[in-house]
Structure 1
Amino acid sequence: MDTQEILSLLPAVIMLVLVLATRKVLLSLGTGIIAGALILNDFSILGTLKEIWKDFANIFYTEGAVNSGNLLLLAFLLLLGIMTALLAASGGSLAFGEWMIRRVKTRAGAQLMTVLLGIIIFIDDYFNALAVGQVARPLTDRHRVSRAKLAYYIDSTAAPVTVISPISSWGAFIIGILGSIFAANGIRDMKPLTSFVEMIPYNFYALTALLLVFLTALFSMDLGPMRKHEKRAMETGQLIDPDPKKAKVAGDLSSTFEPHEEGRVRHLLVPIITLIAVTVIMMIYTGFKASGSNPTVLTIFAETNVNLSLFSGGVVAVIVGFALHFTQKAPRANGGKILWEGIKTMLPAIYILLLAWIVGSIISDLKTGEILANYVQQSTLKPTMLPLVFFVISGIMALATGTSWGTFGIMLAIGAEVVLKVDINLLLPTLSAILAGSVFGDHCSPISDSTILSSTGAGANHIDHVMTQFPYALLAAIASAFGYLIIGMTEQLWLALPAVLIIPIIALLIAKAKNRKKVEHTV
Structure 2
Amino acid sequence: MARAGSSPPFLFILAALLVSVWISSSVNPTWVEQKTTYNVEVADDGSLTYRYKGQSTRIDDVVPYEQSPLRQSELDKLTEAPGLERQWVSETLASGGDTAVRYSLLEARFHFGVWSLLPALAAIVLCLITKEALLSLFIGTVIGAFMLGRFDITDAVLIPSLASTSAASVLLLYLWLVGGLLGIWSRTGAAQAFAEFMTRHFVKGPRTAKFVCWMMGVLFFQGGTISVVLVGTIVKPVADKERISHEELAYIVDSTASPIASLIAFNAWPAYVQALIFVPGVSFLATENDRIRFFFDSIPFSFYSLFAVLGTLLLSFGVMHVAGPGLRRARERARSTGELDAPGALPLSAKEIQIPDIPEGYRPGLSEFFLPLILLISIAVGTFVYTGTPRVNWGFGAALMSAICLALFNGMSLRNVIEGLGSGLKGVVLASVILLMAVTIGGISQEVGAGIYLVELLGDQISYWMLPVALQLITMVIAFSAGTSWGTYAIAFPLAMPLAWAVAINSGVSDPALFMSICFATVLNGSVYGDQCSPISDTTVLSAMTTGCDLMDHVTTQIVPASIAAGLAAILWTVLTIALV
CA distance in structure 1 between the aligned counterparts of 2:162 and 2:181, rounded to whole angstroms: 24
Q: What SS is found at the alignment partner of 2:283?
A: coil
Paired letter, 1:88: S
2:346 and 2:549 in contact (8 A); partners too:
no
TM-score by length of 1: 0.82
Within 5 A, what are the aligned runs for 1:340-351?
A: 340-351=422-433
Partner of 1:296: none
Q: 2:147 aligns with which of 24, 27, 39?
A: 39
Partner of 2:523: 434
Q: 1:410 to 1:344 in 2, by over 3 A?
A: same
CA distance in structure 2 between the aligned counterparts of 1:131 and 1:228, rounded to whole angstroms: 27
- 1:208 CA displacement: 0.6
Within 5 A, what are the aligned runs for 1:69-468?
A: 69-77=166-174, 78-103=176-201, 104-178=203-277, 181-182=278-279, 184-188=280-284, 191-221=290-320, 222-241=323-342, 243=344, 246=346, 249-250=349-350, 253-255=353-355, 257-258=357-358, 262-285=363-386, 287=387, 300=388, 304=389, 306=390, 309-329=391-411, 334-376=416-458, 378-423=459-504, 424=512, 425-468=514-557
CA distance in structure 1 between the aligned counterparts of 2:397 and 2:120, rounded to whole angstroms: 36
Paired letter, 1:49: D
Structure showing greater relative contact order (alpha-carbon pairs closer than 8 Å, 6 or more residues apart): 1
Q: What SS is found at the alignment partner of 1:86?
A: helix
Q: 1:201 to 1:188 in 2, by over 3 A?
A: closer
CA distance in structure 2 between the aligned counterparts of 1:407 and 1:12, rounded to whole angstroms: 14
Paired letter, 2:246: R
Partner of 2:119: 11
Structure possessing the higher radius of gyration over alpha carbons: 2
Structure in which a larger fraction of residues adopt strand: 2
CA distance in structure 2 between the aligned counterparts of 1:27 and 1:60, rounded to whole angstroms: 17
Paired letter, 1:390: L
For residues 15-56 of structure 1, what are the alpha-carbon distances to aligned partners after superposition, in whole Å with 9 as ceiling and x for unaligned? 211111222111211111111111211xxxxx3224x53332
- 1:210 CA displacement: 0.7
Q: 1:337 to 1:252 in 2, by over 3 A?
A: closer
The number of aligned residues is 456
CA distance in structure 2 between the aligned counterparts of 1:231 and 1:219, rounded to whole angstroms: 12
Partner of 1:513: none
Structure in which a larger fraction of residues adopt helix: 1
Q: 2:569 aligns with which of 480, 486, 510?
A: 480
CA distance in structure 1 between the aligned counterparts of 2:357 and 2:215, rounded to whole angstroms: 30
For residues 253-276 of structure 1, what are the alpha-carbon distances to aligned partners after superposition, in whole Å with 9 as ceiling and x for unaligned? 223614765112112111111111
**Quick check: 1:48 aligned with 2:151?**
yes
Q: Percent identity?
A: 28
Q: What SS is found at the alignment partner of 1:238?
A: coil
Moved more, 169-178 or 255-264: 255-264
For residues 261-314 of structure 1, what are the alpha-carbon distances to aligned partners after superposition, in whole Å with 9 as ceiling and x for unaligned? 5112112111111111122233345x2xxxxxxxxxxxx2xxx2x4xx222112
TM-score by length of 2: 0.74
Q: 1:188 to 1:112 in 2, by over 3 A?
A: closer
1:443 and 1:451 in contact (8 A); partners too:
yes
For residues 134-188 of structure 1, what are the alpha-carbon distances to aligned partners after superposition, in whole Å with 9 as ceiling and x for unaligned? 221121111111222111111101100112233112232123333xx14x34435
1:444 and 1:469 in contact (8 A); partners too:
yes
1:250 and 1:460 in contact (8 A); partners too:
no
For residues 427-480 of structure 1, what are the alpha-carbon distances to aligned partners after superposition, in whole Å with 9 as ceiling and x for unaligned? 110111111111111111111112122222222222221122111111111111
1:232 and 1:239 in contact (8 A); partners too:
yes
1:55 and 1:361 in contact (8 A); partners too:
no
CA distance in structure 2 between the aligned counterparts of 1:273 and 1:169, rounded to whole angstroms: 21
Q: What SS is found at the alignment partner of 1:211?
A: helix
Paired letter, 1:59: S
Partner of 1:508: none
For residues 388-425 of structure 1, what are the alpha-carbon distances to aligned partners after superposition, in whole Å with 9 as ceiling and x for unaligned? 11111110111111110111112122121112112134
Q: What SS is found at the alignment partner of 1:380?
A: coil
Task: Give the gaps of 5 or more residues in structure 2.
Answer: 1-26, 29-111, 505-511
Partner of 1:514: none
CA RMSD of aligned residues (A): 2.3
Partner of 1:511: none
CA distance in structure 1 between the aligned counterparts of 2:548 and 2:480, rounded to whole angstroms: 23
- 1:209 CA displacement: 0.3
For residues 477-513 of structure 1, what are the alpha-carbon distances to aligned partners after superposition, in whole Å with 9 as ceiling and x for unaligned? 1111111221221139xxxxxxxxxxxxxxxxxxxxx
CA distance in structure 2 between the aligned counterparts of 1:281 and 1:225, rounded to whole angstroms: 39
CA distance in structure 2 between the aligned counterparts of 1:105 and 1:332, rounded to whole angstroms: 37
For residues 74-125 of structure 1, what are the alpha-carbon distances to aligned partners after superposition, in whole Å with 9 as ceiling and x for unaligned? 2111211111111121121111111111122121111111111101111242
Q: What SS is found at the alignment partner of 1:171?
A: helix
Moved more, 359-368 or 482-491: 482-491
CA distance in structure 1 between the aligned counterparts of 2:231 and 2:532, rounded to whole angstroms: 17
- 1:332 CA displacement: 8.9
Paired letter, 1:81: G
Paired letter, 1:76: L
Q: 1:57 aligns with which of 139, 159, 162?
A: 159
Paired letter, 1:94: Q
CA distance in structure 2 between the aligned counterparts of 1:139 and 1:348, rounded to whole angstroms: 24
Moved more, 110-119 or 5-14: 5-14
Q: What SS is found at the alignment partner of 2:466?
A: helix
